[in-house]
């Protein structure tokens, strides 16, 4: 697949100035400038965030109303239900708020809708059940902003509701006692991209301030908050970066038996954003995808390491089941794409019986990544179809669903990811309309873009220079791992690894040998020969072999030099 290489334009004088002023490498200074982090206070905050860098939680809309009502609930020992979501953000949000309020002596319960039977968000049946159990106050976390009718129903049953959320609100807000969401049009909070668990953290921070508690009473939950924040793929800038940076340090020495058990199961030697994204998050999300959301919450709530290890074994099993189902659906989808040459179309739309709708979103994401085409996968159960879709930059998937809404029962999401439901009888109609929308948008002209931070040479790839890039961690959304280009290297050796999937190179700059690895680039071993001159782009990493450290290029693309 052809990829477009784009270079940042930067000010060499500014880079040199920052490098000298902060005593950092020019490599690190270049990346800061490319991220538009150039003022002294911005650089200091980015490189060395502290607990003093959190914003005032009372700047959030309705925060004082929410805190006053929750403090009253604590004082009168009122039964309170925390209503969340089944993904990592939702589970960690419930955990943080539940543990904090229990420590204040409040009788709290937790409700998580079942993904397979109830779907996302508030629903009437759940609210009726909560009322029947004698709860008087519902606090939503990571959901509720679109639950106008459900909030009204809760009030009709004699309950009050506090909404905390981070999703886009509708034109009309729920008529709850308080609606804390920094995406409200009247928001004055200086950062509006917190995860749901970030909003829950700000709520306990505000309660802590009201009750004049020591900071440690809410800061001690930053390990859990960090896991939810990184997992929800929110931008790791501003307050999210403070949460992630401080939280990762806390994860290393976590006192949570559940987090410790997850770390052991994941098998990562180093705790960083990858540990959370690829080691912890899939195991927690597997619970919701497979319909066992309560196990994930129980894991975070337990104080018993034996119980934590036992629950983690369950999570590992759910994750294996999810992986097996995902593999089967992916293979069936690829077979269908190749048979019908769907990769030649502007968008890939597939539907089938016996696909698991808790998993098809992951498969859609993999198909979109493989073909760089928007994709929608739908699983049919009788006459009903449920689907998930993923997009590529430049194509508004949610906007496209709006244009095809007459063929759908329900839909939601945003530009890059959607969920939908439709009647099986409407599938072909929807597919035709959707393909026409994509064709008119000329999605075939969209290509992956790789942004390159800097052209490097031998003097840049010292172990010391590469180690300074760790100051940029944690990497994630809006703070991607920096990409560099190294030109005019001579291929010294080339081979495919892992049954032809990956590529291993040694490259020469003069007499110096540089190691390079290209994951999922194995086919390049057939296109290049020893002696070819190439330009490579990729990440700079430290590879340790037999206790010896070497710089390695983790390649993202390769081209012949001209």
Q: What is the pLDDT of residues 35-71, one digit of tens each?
A: 999 999 999 999 999 999 999 999 999 999 999 999 9
DSSP string of 251-268?
Answer: HHT---HHHHHHHHHHT-
SS3 (DSSP) at 169: coil
pLDDT at 233: 86
292 pLDDT higher than 90 = yes
Token representation of residue 181? 């969401």
| Digit-coded pLDDT (tens) for 194-214 | 999 999 999 999 999 999 999
| Digit-coded pLDDT (tens) for 495-536 | 999 888 999 999 999 999 999 999 989 999 999 999 999 999
Q: Which domains does the chain have, with CATH numbers?
A: 4-48+450-560 (2.40.50.460), 53-238 (3.90.1640.30), 341-445 (3.10.310.30)
User: What is the band of 1 on the pLDDT scale with cuts at 50, 70, 90?
Assistant: low
pTM of the model: 0.90
SS3 (DSSP) at 432: helix
Q: Average of pLDDT values for 437-446?
A: 88
Q: What whole-number percentage of the chain has pLDDT above 90?
A: 84
What kind and span of H or E run contains 125?
helix 124-132
| C-alpha closest to that of 80 among 161, 146, 155, 148 | 161
Among all chains, which residue has been given the structure tokens 């917190």? 194
412 pLDDT higher than 90 = no
| Digit-coded pLDDT (tens) for 369-395 | 999 999 999 999 999 999 999 999 989
Environment class of 59 (CB within 10 Å of its CB; exposed 0-12, middle 13-18, buried 19+): middle
């Amino acid at each position: 697949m052809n990829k477009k290489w784009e270079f940042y334009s930067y000010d060499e004088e500014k880079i040199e100035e920052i490098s000298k002023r902060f005593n950092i490498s020019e490599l690190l200074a270049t990346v800061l400038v490319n991220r538009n982090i150039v003022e002294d206070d911005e650089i200091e905050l980015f490189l060395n965030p502290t607990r003093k860098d959190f914003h005032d939680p009372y700047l959030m809309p309705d925060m004082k109303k929410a805190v006053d009502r929750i403090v009253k609930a604590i004082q009168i020992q009122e039964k309170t239900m925390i209503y969340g979501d089944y993904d990592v953000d939702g589970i960690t949000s419930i955990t943080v708020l539940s543990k904090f309020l229990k420590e204040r002596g409040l009788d709290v319960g937790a409700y998580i809708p079942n993904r397979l039977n109830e779907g996302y968000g508030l629903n009437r049946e759940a609210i009726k059940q909560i009322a029947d159990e004698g709860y008087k106050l519902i606090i939503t976390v990571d959901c509720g902003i679109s639950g106008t009718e459900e909030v009204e129903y809760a009030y009709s049953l004699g309950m009050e509701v506090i909404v905390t959320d981070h999703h886009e609100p509708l034109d009309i807000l729920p008529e709850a006692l308080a609606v804390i969401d920094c995406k409200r049009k009247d928001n004055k909070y200086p950062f509006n991209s917190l995860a749901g668990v970030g909003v829950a953290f700000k709520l306990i921070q505000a309660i802590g301030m009201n009750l004049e508690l020591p900071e440690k009473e809410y800061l001690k939950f930053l390990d859990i908050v960090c896991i939810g924040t990184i997992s929800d793929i929110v931008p790791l800038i501003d307050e999210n970066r403070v949460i992630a940076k401080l939280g990762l340090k806390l994860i290393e020495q976590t006192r949570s038996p559940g987090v410790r058990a997850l770390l052991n199961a994941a098998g990562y030697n180093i705790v960083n954003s990858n540990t959370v994204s690829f080691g912890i998050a899939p195991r927690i999300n597997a619970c919701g995808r497979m319909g066992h959301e309560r196990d994930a919450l129980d894991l975070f709530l337990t104080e018993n390491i034996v119980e934590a290890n036992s629950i983690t074994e369950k999570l590992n099993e759910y994750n294996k089941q999810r992986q097996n189902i995902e593999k089967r659906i992916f293979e069936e989808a690829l077979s269908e794409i190749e048979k019908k040459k769907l990769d030649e179309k502007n968008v890939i739309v597939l539907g089938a019986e016996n696909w698991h709708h808790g998993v098809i979103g992951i498969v859609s994401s993999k198909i979109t990544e493989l073909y760089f085409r928007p994709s929608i996968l739908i699983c049919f159960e009788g006459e009903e179809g449920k689907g998930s879709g993923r997009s590529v930059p430049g194509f508004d998937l949610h906007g496209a669903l709006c244009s095809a809404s007459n063929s759908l029962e329900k839909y939601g999401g945003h530009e890059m990811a959607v969920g939908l439901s439709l009647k099986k009888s409407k599938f072909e109609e929807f597919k035709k309309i959707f393909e026409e929308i994509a064709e008119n948008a000329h999605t075939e002209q969209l290509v992956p873009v790789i942004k390159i931070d800097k052209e490097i040479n031998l003097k840049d790839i010292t172990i010391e220079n590469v180690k300074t890039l760790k100051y940029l961690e944690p990497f994630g959304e809006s703070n991607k791992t920096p990409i560099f280009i190294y030109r005019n290297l001579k291929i010294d050796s080339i081979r495919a690894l892992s049954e032809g999937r990956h590529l291993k190179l040694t490259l020469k700059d003069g007499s110096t040998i540089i190691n390079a690895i290209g994951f999922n680039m194995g086919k390049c071993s057939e296109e290049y020969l020893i002696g070819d001159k190439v330009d490579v782009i990729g990440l700079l990493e430290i590879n340790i072999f037999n206790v010896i450290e070497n710089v390695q290029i983790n390649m993202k693309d390769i081209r012949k030099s001209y």
